[in-house]
Amino acid sequence: MSELLPEPYGIEPLTTQRVVVKDSQAKLKDYPHLYTAGSEPLAVEEIRITALGTGYPARRGQGCAGFMAELGNGDVFIFDTGAGTNLSFNHMKVPYHKATKFFMTHYHIDHIADLIVYYDFGQSNGRLEPMNVYGPAGEKPELGIEALVENIYRLAAWHDRTKFGNLDKRGFEMKAHQFEPDQAREVYNENGVKITAFPVPHGIYGAVGYRLDYGGLSMVFAGDCEPSTITVENSQNVDVLIHEVFNPPQMYVDKLGWTEIQAKIVAWTKHTAPEAAAKVFSRTNPGVAMGFHSMIAPGTPQPILDGIRSGYDGPVVIAQDFTVINVTREQIVTRMVEFEPAPFLASDPEYMASKGGAEPDPSVMHGLPEWLEKTTIGIPMIDDFKKELAERGMR
Ligand SMILES: [Zn+2]
Ligand SMILES: [Zn+2]
């Protein structure tokens, strides 16, 4: 009998194995049925992985690709920043200054679009340090992360000119960390966390997956890719393997009106079919295999799971946004996130104090040309405040 998944976008994750026990002798922590955003401190040896975006294209219920890993040592890592993922991040009650370590798998727009949004919101919401953005080099200099960051600055030129000075300047910096994606290599090693990047086949040279190891716990985010032996080698014994799994081509024919050949080119030669993902999963044997990058709508998860089941019988989760996985030495628990529809963003006064507070600098602010400023309709308290800014050097 086939294993039946719940319908998407409810309170159940798309899996039939919510709890995977790693150590049957251990006393298991009992997690609440839902993870209420911001509510559960992590144990030191624990990782919480949240799906901020899982599909393509972005719709209100499902963003493009992006995952967040929160670690028991306080570190936060963001893997890819597709459209809609920043919106999800804003619901997770994680202060912006924690989101300073970004790891990009490749530079398709559906994986990078929100990087500039993190740049913006972090400036105004308490990030008083640079964003560190890790990513592969490409075949040419203009195809690597260094060029991408320079191009984001260009795109943000108008934005930065209006905001520089009224916000603390420390929030206006991105540091690119570029590496050659020709073989598996360690690209990060700090505070007990090691991240290894490994090449994956995805259209052209310059796409990678990442493996994170921390306190004997591990996850792989393979990014966008065809199935590859390199991914298999680098994902051995991993707790959570996040690997793309595309919808069967017939769905695109039936629902989107694609031709069969177009659907097969995309689903089978640029991405990973469920039956092919099964090969990666069975050779890797992860604690939990999580498939992402499929369009999740009523009725679509089941055929994906059935395809995976043609060659893999281990624990599988089909990712929808706000799926959350807690990993400890004892167990791997998959749930959904419960969040407020329009929360205030998380603030962290202690952090702000440790940085000496946010320090605007009106002397470097740019203002309107005089003729346009003169047209603004004032009231006394605002006119007075503008005078004060002018006295402090604002042009
Ligand atoms: Zn891609
Ligand atoms: Zn993609």
pLDDT tens, residue by residue, 60-79: 999 999 999 999 999 999 99
pTM attached to this predicted model: 0.97
pLDDT tens digit string along 202-221?
Answer: 999 999 999 999 999 999 99
Cα(235) to centroid of ligand 2, in Å?
20
* Residues pairing with 384 in the sheet: none
The tens digit of pLDDT for each residue in 28-55 reads: 999 999 999 999 999 999 999 999 999 9
Q: How confident is the model at residue 303 (pLDDT cuts 50, 70, 90)?
A: very high
Q: Is the pLDDT of residue 394 over 90?
A: no
The Å distance, Cα 107 to ligand 1 centre, comes to 7
pLDDT (average), residues 244-266: 95
* pLDDT band (50, 70, 90) for residue 351: very high
142: its two tokens: 């203009």
Q: Amino acid letter at 45?
A: E
Identify the nearest ligand to the CA of 82 by its number: 2
| Residue 342: pLDDT over 90 | yes
All domains of the chain, ordered by start, with CATH? Answer: 19-354 (3.60.15.10), 362-391 (no CATH)
Cα(292) to centroid of ligand 2, in Å?
9
Q: pLDDT value at position 367?
A: 87
CA of 189 to the centre of ligand 2 (A): 27
Contact 318, 305 (CB under 8 A): yes
If you ran DSSP here, which 8-state letter would residue 15 be given?
-
pLDDT recorded at residue 364? 83
Residue 363 has a pLDDT of 82
Q: How many CA atoms lie within 13 A of 258 on its CB side?
A: 16
Confidence band of 360 (pLDDT split at 50, 70, 90): confident
Ligand 1 midpoint to CA 113 (Å):
12
Of 240, 245, 248, nearest to 292 (Cα)?
245
Give the number of the ligand closest to the Cα of residue 206.
Answer: 1
Cα(259)–Cα(251) distance, integer angstroms = 11
Identify the pLDDT of residue 109: 98
CA of 252 to the centre of ligand 1 (A): 17
| Ligand closest in space to the Cα of 113 | 2
Cα-to-centroid distance, 116 and ligand 2 (Å): 18
Centroid of ligand 2 to alpha carbon of 224 (angstroms): 5
Mean pLDDT of 173-184: 98
Looking at residue 390, its pLDDT comes to 85
User: What is the Å distance from ligand 1's center to 106 Cα?
Assistant: 7
Give the pLDDT confidence score for residue 391 in this predicted structure: 87
Ligand 1 center to residue 202 CA distance, Å?
7
Question: How much distance in Å is there from the Cα of 145 to the middle of ligand 1?
Answer: 15
pLDDT band, residue 395 (cuts 50/70/90): low
CA 116 to CA 160: how far, in whole Å? Answer: 12
Q: Is 290 helix (H, G, I), strand (E, B) or coil?
A: strand
Percentage of residues in the chain having pLDDT higher than 90 = 94
Q: How far, CA to CA in Å, does 176 sit from each of 103, 145, 196?
A: 10, 6, 17
**Average pLDDT, rounded, for the chain:** 96
pLDDT at 371 over 90: yes
Whether pLDDT at 388 is above 80: yes
DSSP code at position 62: B
Q: Cα of 227 to ligand 1 centre, how many Å?
A: 13
pLDDT tens digits, one per residue of 83-136: 999 999 999 999 999 999 999 999 999 999 999 999 999 999 999 999 999 999
How many angstroms does the Cα of residue 293 sit away from the middle of ligand 2? 7
Residue range 180-208, pLDDT digits in tens: 999 999 999 999 999 999 999 999 999 99
Between the CA of 227 and the centroid of ligand 2 the distance, in Å, is 14
Of the bound ligands, which one is closest to the alpha carbon of residue 293?
2
